[in-house]
Amino acid sequence: MKKYLFITFSIITFLSCSSSKESRNATVIIDPNPTSEMARLMREMTIELDEIKIRLEKNETLENNLLDFALIHEAEVTDISFNKPHIMPMSKAFHYVVNEFNKEPNIINYNSIINNCVSCHQLSCQGPLMKINKLTIKN
């Protein structure tokens, strides 16, 4: 009787352990927040800036007016906690440095765009800073 009890207990333990491992590995969260207009805009900007970074690092000649981003402060935010007083002036500053890059696409103007992103994210949403910092071109 003890032998059957031990075997039954072992089987139940084994099955419960294996099923809990499967459930833990089944869900992977890529974007934890609902995708707002602002989040979508920033993800698109990151992709475009990364592509430009690669081209600049290869010393490719870039055409003018490459970037056309919507004004950040006009985008719908993820939640109202992102509506902070510094967003509008930083958005306008970002728009300015993007225009400067569009007039003269070079590493200095590109890094000005990235530095502007870093400055704003240090004040409001620090989560993407590691990813943004990787966009900087080192001299």
| pLDDT one-digit tens code per residue, 13-44 | 555 555 444 445 566 666 665 688 998 999 99
Please report, for the chain, the start and end positions of each structural domain, with discontinuous segments joined by +.
38-133
Mean pLDDT of the chain: 84
| pLDDT category of residue 12 using cuts at 50, 70 and 90 | low
* Per-residue model confidence (pLDDT) at position 20: 47
Q: Which letter does DSSP use for residue 137 in this model?
A: P
| pLDDT category of residue 121 using cuts at 50, 70 and 90 | very high
| pLDDT one-digit tens code per residue, 39-61 | 899 999 999 999 999 999 999 99
DSSP string, 56-112: HHTT----S----PPPGGGSPPSSGGG--TTHHHHHHHHHHHHHHHHHS-SHHHHHH
Regarding pTM above 0.85, the answer is no
